[in-house]
Amino acid sequence: MSNGVNGHHNSSEGELFLSEAFKVILEEAVHKATDVKEKVCEWKDPEELRVLMDLELGDHGESHQQLLQRVRDIARYSVKTNHPRFFNQLFAGVDYHSLTGRFLTEALNTSQYTYEVAPVFVLMEDVVLRKLRSLVGWSEGDGIFCPGGSVSNMYAMNVARYWAFPQVKTQGLWTVPRLAVFTSQEVKLKKCFCIFGRMIPEDLEAKIVHAKSQGAVPFFVNATAGTTVQGAFDPLDRIADISERNGIWMANSCTWNPHKMLMAGLQCSVFLMRDTTNLLMHCHCANATYLFQQDKFYDMSLDTGDKSIQCGRKVDCLKLWLMWKAIGAQGLANRVDIAFASTRYFVEELKKREGFQVVSEPQFVNVCFWFIPPSLRGKENSPDYQEKLAKVAPVIKERMVKKGSMMVGYQPLDGRVNFFRMVILSPQLNHSDLDFFLDEVERLGNDL
Amino acid sequence: MSNGVNGHHNSSEGELFLSEAFKVILEEAVHKATDVKEKVCEWKDPEELRVLMDLELGDHGESHQQLLQRVRDIARYSVKTNHPRFFNQLFAGVDYHSLTGRFLTEALNTSQYTYEVAPVFVLMEDVVLRKLRSLVGWSEGDGIFCPGGSVSNMYAMNVARYWAFPQVKTQGLWTVPRLAVFTSQEVKLKKCFCIFGRMIPEDLEAKIVHAKSQGAVPFFVNATAGTTVQGAFDPLDRIADISERNGIWMANSCTWNPHKMLMAGLQCSVFLMRDTTNLLMHCHCANATYLFQQDKFYDMSLDTGDKSIQCGRKVDCLKLWLMWKAIGAQGLANRVDIAFASTRYFVEELKKREGFQVVSEPQFVNVCFWFIPPSLRGKENSPDYQEKLAKVAPVIKERMVKKGSMMVGYQPLDGRVNFFRMVILSPQLNHSDLDFFLDEVERLGNDL
């Protein structure tokens, strides 16, 4: 039963492997991954990649060198989301301090249940949540780190339902009336409706009246500050007024994903509340006796894990905390300013060029635009114009991915055919990266 | 807008910091954290720790050296879950290959939506899920990695409800009858009931009949293989028969947490299904047009992210995959065998000692026992015996934590007063660690 036999390596071998693998990771997944001279992705068809990667899991282990090669291969064939020319999602770039926090999180392998097992992280989560609440404008409140924004939104709906109908927890859903939820049209909240019910968008106050007349109880309104595609902002104040007037949960909580614009790295999402009555704990506590003993020798209000719908919960606060300590609130604010300045530059340059047309004026760092290839210019009134335009973005996307030069998303929306969504987040971008982007779209699309 | 100004560091400074921090992490959070000569935890009262850690977040950044010191301090005051004398939870020990996979995951910062952005991990997740399903005994099926076991269980209940009442997704909860869920008594499923309804344990078939007579529709039975406290196994076959006879979801899916006994590290939980009709996708898809375009140039069935209730989803398969490649299925099986052998050794040694009494015969690697201090021995019939015994474990726990010698959990359960739950998972344990544990309980409790 000693180490080194029985199919597992001993600790000095393990540490050696970890050190060598770290060098590979730093070189392949950080250094080269952020180098504009390298590809954003090395495209392979699924069938080809399956063979290259030899993914199947067998009975026997592999050698140190084989495993290091696997680390290299995984980095090689993965998309470099850290790359200055990755614009495909609402996250981009790399923060080295956050990444350090993430490595430390993994090495410590802490589950954030109690002060007993997570002393530093219980206190740290509290500090970070308080800081984020203060930026939202709330001097008091509650909150929790969640595994992603959809889960944070689910918390909001669940806590709102419990707030309106606390019997849901002890007596079950059947004791609750038919409920209605309202949200703006272009939202990421749809995942929640898989669990909670149906989405009824548009025309809020009239819809609330209508829902009530149908026997439903409106209990939740979602408003979005920065929609996924267009980066649009709902009129938060007006919606808050309507919600308050109708006794509906809206400005009571806020979901914020520092893994996006703040570059904290996946996953880093917080659910923030104004509540000071311990609603979050009341809503979710299961009082597991093996974790939340009531005869401990310290202040048991620090055992915050029971606020979560999870049992084991990964530490997600450290990466944000360490990044904040490294650059301060001013450094974070500068990043946002830089992103806005880059966006303004990009939009100006785009408008100077023939064939680029914005879908709407950007409110945020999302720039939605069509590239109209030479063959379609001036033919806006042709009957097949929209149909042909719809096919442009997918072809340019395929070409850029196969070339590996950059990545940007496209989609149709609200009757508008496929357009690109450029998202400018990373402070590591400079003007030449943005010029390259526009040049590259032209290079890839001018023959279409 | 160049690097190096505006509150962020440039990439060569960033890489330097990362390299130096890695050395600190390796030394403090891995090397020393696994050394039996070091403490499992360095206990500080919350007030003292708040001051020591200087957690508050300010406007300005700190120096390289200050930040490295913070990495050191976080490791110092955190509990060493990797330590051979950490028995406090259902995870323990460290696997160096898994940890490498976790570092690589963090460096690549991939969100597991689509083949386009996560080519390697889409294929890898599929391979790992298939392998795990085959070990459950299913040659076909579906599944997904989830952020923890509670979320996996939530998937099970949500998919089961959708399977029974697909209109829940499009028409809302109010169109579904009153539902009933069944589970064994000692379960971790309680978190789900915060979202889904009420728990009705015991006496399954009679309860199903009773629920039906009350107008409820039973749709879900949960059975547990290895309960949290006692490591007990429900009679799976019998429960499956009853469930099948009543058309209730039970052996249709399985939640498995490789972050526990397999040492993959938090978070690594899978939800596995037998279903071959794409139920998981139908239940959860939101068809976000910005991710799941239908005019892509590759097989879009590989865009598996829409099976998730999350939008952004962390890659959780790589750590398990790399560990598996490193030691093979045989290495993993050996670990389980070693854990069982260690458990047997521990129970034998425990029974040889005066004052140790098992709560029940272990079925698994959990050993629940009371330590009866000399002052209580032979006094089982005293009226205050239980009351006094209940106070023993908390005192011993407080002493061990303040000393930092080891960590083990305790709890009351089903009318039995506080007992210790020893969990023997890590293959890095040897007999002397287990002897030390028993000696230490005696040392800490003999005066009580």
**Comparing C-alpha atoms, which of A131, A84, A140 is closest to residue A320?**
A131
**Comparing C-alpha atoms, which of B288, B283, B272 is closest to residue B126?**
B272
Nearest chain A residue to B303, by CA: A46
SS3 state at A230? coil
Contact A290 B46 (CB under 8 A): no
CA–CA separation, B8 vs B89, rounded Å? 39
Residues of chain B with Cβ-Cβ distance to A291 below 8 Å are 409
Q: Residue with structure tokens 């955190």?
A: B78
CA angle, residues A381, A387, A389, in degrees to nearest 5: 80
Distance set, CA A185 to CA A190, A228, B53, B75 (Å): 10, 11, 44, 45
Q: What is the pLDDT of residue A185?
A: 63
Residue A77 is nearest to which of B119, B173, B195, comparing CB atoms? B119
Interface confidence (ipTM) of the complex: 0.95
Instruction: Decide if B254 touches A, using CB distance below 8 A.
Output: no
Question: Nearest C-alpha of chain A: how many angstroms from B132?
Answer: 10
The answer to whether A369 and A416 have CB atoms below 8 angstroms apart is no
Amino acid at B240: A
Q: What is the pLDDT of residue A414?
A: 86
Residues of chain B with Cβ-Cβ distance to A26 below 8 Å are 15, 18-19, 22, 107
Instruction: Decide if B281 touches A, using CB distance below 8 A.
Output: no
B369: β partners: B358, B420
Amino acid at A54: D
Instruction: Decide if B51 touches A, using CB distance below 8 A.
Output: no
Residue A108 is nearest to which of B44, B75, B170, comparing CB atoms? B75
Say how many CB pairs under 8 Å bridge A and B. Answer: 546
Q: What is the pLDDT of residue A204?
A: 86
Residue A195 is nearest to which of B50, B179, B309, comparing CB atoms? B309
Amino acid at A188: K
What residues in chain B have per-residue pLDDT under 50? 1-9, 197, 199-200
CA–CA separation, A112 vs A7, rounded Å? 30
Contact B107 A25 (CB under 8 A): yes
Residues of chain B with Cβ-Cβ distance to A150 below 8 Å are 309-312
What number of residues does chain B have? 448
Residues of chain A with Cβ-Cβ distance to B7 below 8 Å are 327-328, 330-335
Instruction: Decide if B198 touches A, using CB distance below 8 A.
Output: yes
Residues of chain B with Cβ-Cβ distance to A8 below 8 Å are 95, 327, 331, 334-335, 427-428
Residues of chain A with Cβ-Cβ distance to B100 below 8 Å are 17-18, 21-22, 25, 67, 71
Instruction: Decide if B330 touches A, using CB distance below 8 A.
Output: yes
Q: What is the pLDDT of residue B198?
A: 55
Contact A191 B82 (CB under 8 A): no
CA pseudo-torsion sign A297, A300, A302, A303: positive
Amino acid at B14: G
Residues of chain A with Cβ-Cβ distance to B331 below 8 Å are 6-8, 61
User: Is residue B267 reached through a cis peptide bond, with omega within 30 degrees of 0 on the bond before it?
Assistant: yes
Residue A330 is nearest to which of B9, B60, B150, comparing CB atoms? B60
Nearest chain B residue to A179, by CA: B174
CA–CA separation, B219 vs B249, rounded Å? 6
Residues of chain B with Cβ-Cβ distance to A179 below 8 Å are 172-174
Amino acid at B323: M
Instruction: Decide if A281 touches B, using CB distance below 8 A.
Output: no
Residues of chain B with Cβ-Cβ distance to A325 below 8 Å are 57, 61-62, 66-67, 70
Q: Is the pTM of this model over 0.90?
A: yes
Q: Are strands B407-413 and B416-423 parallel, antiparallel or unpaired?
A: antiparallel
What residues in chain A have per-residue pLDDT under 70? 1-10, 185-202
Residues of chain B with Cβ-Cβ distance to A289 below 8 Å are 229, 411-413
CA–CA separation, A164 vs B235, rounded Å? 39
User: What residues of chain A, 358 to 377, have a C-beta less than 8 Å from chain B?
Assistant: none
CA angle, residues A74, A78, A79, in degrees to nearest 5: 160
Contact B1 A431 (CB under 8 A): yes
Contact A119 B49 (CB under 8 A): yes
